[in-house]
Amino acid sequence: MPKKAILCVDDEEIILNSLRDQLQTRLGDRYIYEFAESAGEAMEVIEDLASEGTDILIIVSDWLMPDMKGDEFLIRIHRKFPGIVKVMLTGHADESAIRRVQEQADLHRCIFKPWTEEELIGTIISGLKKNE
């Protein structure tokens, strides 16, 4: 059975730290969780996982990041991997950026920081269902 992964992209260490345990606690060992601090690193991870034969089911990405903004990143991902479910998790994003991801990257949902566990896990579960 091929392994399935959830990838989180955020340039803030404190966010990745808390997400890692949140996902692990709530979703357990069913998935692999990967983390990247920038869009560039996320691209590498995606290539790596693809070459290992691991499917990425969902990407949860911040919007404001150093090298590439979340909207651009998710749109690029969508062109290459339209099947991956895309979620934005952000402290601030302008409306037009969100609209762009909705239109051009089939954004599943945008969640705002500070998020609640139910919101995030609920969004991920509904996203996974969409993928089945």
CA atoms within 13 A on the CB side of 10: 19
DSSP symbol at 29: G
The three-state secondary structure class of 88 is strand
Contact 64, 45 (CB under 8 A): no
Nearer to other proteins, 21 or 103 (CB): 21
Using only the alpha carbons of the chain, give its radius of gyration. 13
The 12-51 contact track toward other proteins, x by CB under 8 A, reads: xxxxxxxxxxx-xxx--x--x-xxxx---x---x------
Whether 79 and 101 have beta carbons less than 8 Å apart is answered as: no
Closer to other proteins at the Cβ: 20 or 106? Answer: 20
Check residue 75 for interaction with other proteins (CB under 8 A).
Answer: no
Please state the closest distance from residue 94 (CB atom) to other proteins, in A: 8
Q: Among residues 47, 50, 66, 99, which is the contact residue for other proteins, using CB under 8 A?
A: 66
Backbone angles phi, psi at 99, to 5 degrees: -60, -40
* Least distance from other proteins to the Cβ atom of residue 129, Å: 23
Residues near other proteins (CB under 8 A) are 11-22, 24-26, 29, 32, 34-37, 41, 45, 64-67, 69, 89-92, 94, 112-117, 120
